[in-house]
Amino acid sequence: MFEDLSSRLEGVFKSLRGRGVLTEDNVREALREIRRALLEADVHYKVAKDFVKRVEERAVGQEVLKGIHPGQQVVKVVHDEMVQLLGGTVAEPNITGSPPVPVMVVGLQGSGKTTTCAKLANWLKKKGRRPYLVPADPYRPAARDQLIKLAQANGHAVYEGPEEDPVEICRRGMQEAVRAAADVVLLDTAGRLHVDDELMEELRQVRATVKPHEILLVVDGMIGQDSVNVAEQFREKLGFDGVVLTKMDGDARGGAALSIRHVTGVPIKFLGVGESADALEPFHPDRMASRILNMGDVLTLVERAQESVEEGEAEELQKKLRKNEFTLEDFRTQLRRLKKMGPLSQIMGMLPGVPKDALQEVEKDGGKSLTRVEAIISSMTPAERTKPSILDGSRRRRIARGSGTSVQEVNQLLKQFGDMRKMMKQMGRMKKGKGKGRGRFARFPGM
Ligand SMILES: Nc1nc2c(ncn2[C@@H]2O[C@H](COP(=O)(O)OP(=O)(O)OP(=O)(O)O)[C@@H](O)[C@H]2O)c(=O)[nH]1
Ligand SMILES: [Mg+2]
């Protein structure tokens, strides 16, 4: 559902990641692109504007974290802000209290109320609850039958009393629910083509009668911007506690999902993702953001790097570097970690102890040279890895043969490693708490 937006943002991030250092101009240009992409995805213009402003405040001039590429950090800020935009945390419907707990399902005609009632009943049943369905739309022919059929098909109890006025149906429905020993009552109310006063008055009367613990507004995700206006009107005239965005399986551009929470201040609680009674997903802001940004893995990676590499390992490496004890063994460990962490093109510069030249090579050949470097180090004995100075001609020939590489490649690696150690030694000497906030290794050429 967010394909276009995702691929646009992906492009922006790619160009950010390609840079070793980010200037304010780079970031601003990227933010302009992000704004354009959001608008094209049908995000409300004010929402897009506020969003970009918040990202800018956090991204421009922020301290670069240790061990993390500046481009990655911007991506992380965009992600975090998007999670906030989508509501921050998961919002569950309020279905606690003494049973039966009334839940009103409201929305425009055709938005998916009846379908959503059946889906919610299934969801509740899976949670061990006993739902009860009440068809409260006496106007549209067959509206009542539709819910009754859905209820029967899914094995839910349903109110089958006479079709009278909606307030009366709901009142009686609540009484019947008690008799049926149900603990949650889903009231499927009538819809209109537009928000009109008559409908709102009727819904307010139902609300006054049944005193719902939760009013869920069902909104068609396909109608884009309009869904935001509809939600605004319902909020003004009735008020509601959560949004169910339906038809998110279709080619909705997703702008509604990204705007509704920000505009109304009410959380999205579920997504409808199909016509079947199981096509309902509780809404997770963080997962949705990752999906939109197409980069769940990378984000986890950045988090993992922040946690593990930064805290424990960087200290350890730092100590070794200072004492000039960084060995080929450590180097290989870093390479292996790098390979395990995912798409190499996305994690450049994230790990301490891996020279950027090597990474650029890796980027070019998609990981093959990395594998070769690893093979070379693996063909050495532990003694050779700790003390490369013992590597004479015959040992180098043996390693080349053992790793399926050439003596030149072995020489090249050893030279790179030697240079690296030399630099580290210098760094170890001059390092005394300088370079505030910068990556410990970041100010070194080739790191
Ligand atoms: N693809 C898809 N279709 C959906 C979804 N939710 C509902 N629909 C379809 O949308 C149409 C309208 O759904 P209903 O549940 O009848 O909508 P309603 O709000 O109850 O409509 P009224 O009672 O007429 O106001 C039906 O054809 C549903 O199958 C969804 O999440 N995905
Ligand atoms: Mg209906």
Q: For residue 323, report the distance from its CA to the centre of ligand 2, in Å.
A: 73
Residue 269 lies in a domain: yes
pTM of the shown model: 0.68
Note the Cα 18 to chain centre separation in Å. 22
Domain count, the chain: 3
Residue 420 lies in a domain: yes
**Mean pLDDT value of segment 332-339:** 71
Q: What is the CATH number of the domain that holds 219?
A: 3.40.50.300
Does one domain contain both 129 and 187?
A: yes
List pLDDT tens digits, range 252-303. Answer: 667 888 899 999 999 999 999 899 998 898 898 987 887 777 654 444 455 5
Identify the pLDDT of residue 267: 96
**Which residue is it, tokens 């980027």?**
363
More confident residue, 333 or 381: 381
Tokens of 351: 């790990």
Lowest mean pLDDT: which of 151-155, 224-228, 317-321, 351-355?
351-355
Does one domain contain both 114 and 263?
A: yes
Residue 442 lies in a domain: no
Does one domain contain both 303 and 273?
A: no
Pocket of ligand 1 (CB under 6 A): 107, 109-115, 137, 140, 143, 191, 246-247, 249-250, 272-275, 279
Of 39, 60, 85, the position where a domain reaches its end is 85
Q: State which of 275, 276, 281 you would mutate to test the pocket of ligand 1, scoring each by most atoms of that ligand within 8 A of its C-beta.
A: 275
Residue 374 φ/ψ, nearest 5 degrees: -65, -40
Residue 278 lies in a domain: yes
Nearest-CA residue for ligand 1 atom 3 is 275
Whether the per-residue pLDDT at 46 is higher than 80: the answer is yes
Identify the pLDDT of residue 318: 66
What domain range includes position 300? 296-430
**Which residue is it, tokens 């506020």?**
50
Does one domain contain both 300 and 325?
A: yes
Identify the pLDDT of residue 329: 84
More confident residue, 202 or 76: 202
Residue 289 lies in a domain: no
Nearest-CA residue for ligand 1 atom 21 is 110
- Between CA 118 and CA 133 the distance in angstroms is 8
The alpha-helical segments, DSSP class H, found in 180-309 are: 197-210, 225-237, 255-264, 285-293, 296-304
Q: Which atom of ligand 1 is nearest to the CA of 274?
A: 32
- Between CA 18 and CA 71 the distance in angstroms is 8
- Between CA 185 and CA 122 the distance in angstroms is 13
Does one domain contain both 81 and 108?
A: no
Does one domain contain both 319 and 400?
A: yes
Q: Could you give the count of Cα atoms lying within 13 Å of 53 in the half-sphere of its Cβ?
A: 6
**Which residue is it, tokens 């933010």?**
31
Q: What are the angstrom distances between the C-alpha of 299 and each of 80, 290, 310, 341, 359? A: 10, 8, 15, 11, 20
Q: For residue 287, report the distance from its CA to the centre of ligand 2, in Å.
A: 30
Q: What percent of the chain has pLDDT over 70?
A: 77
Identify the pLDDT of residue 378: 92
Identify the pLDDT of residue 305: 54
Q: What are the angstrom distances between the C-alpha of 236 and each of 135, 184, 204, 232, 436? A: 25, 26, 12, 6, 50
- Asked if the peptide bond before residue 100 counts as cis, ω within 30 degrees of 0, the response is yes
**Which residue is it, tokens 């990204």?**
258
**Mean pLDDT value of segment 67-86:** 81
Q: State which of 115, 219, 243 you would mutate to test the pocket of ligand 1, scoring each by most atoms of that ligand within 8 A of its C-beta.
A: 115
Q: Which atom of ligand 1 is nearest to the CA of 192?
A: 25
- Between CA 322 and CA 326 the distance in angstroms is 9
Which contiguous run of DSSP H or E holds residue 49? helix 45-59
Average pLDDT of every residue of the chain? 81
User: Between 407-430 and 368-378, two packed helices, what is the crossing angle to 10 degrees?
Assistant: 90
Lowest mean pLDDT: which of 56-65, 185-194, 260-269?
56-65
Q: For residue 269, report the distance from its CA to the centre of ligand 2, in Å.
A: 19
Q: What percent of the chain has pLDDT over 90?
A: 44
Contact, 70 vs 21, CB < 8 A?
Answer: yes
Does one domain contain both 280 and 307?
A: no
Residue 95 lies in a domain: no
Identify the pLDDT of residue 20: 65
Q: Which atom of ligand 1 is nearest to the CA of 218?
A: 19
Q: Is 413 helix (H, G, I), strand (E, B) or coil?
A: helix
More confident residue, 50 or 432: 50
The residue among 239, 121, 128 whose CA lies nearest residue 188 is: 121
Does one domain contain both 226 and 106?
A: yes
More confident residue, 267 or 331: 267
Note the Cα 10 to chain centre separation in Å. 14
Whether the per-residue pLDDT at 347 is higher than 80: the answer is no
List pLDDT tens digits, range 408-420. Answer: 999 988 988 887 7
Whether the per-residue pLDDT at 68 is higher than 60: the answer is no
Residue 356 lies in a domain: yes
**Which of 29-38, 99-108, 330-339: highest mean pLDDT?**
99-108
Does one domain contain both 107 and 245?
A: yes
Does one domain contain both 251 and 306?
A: no
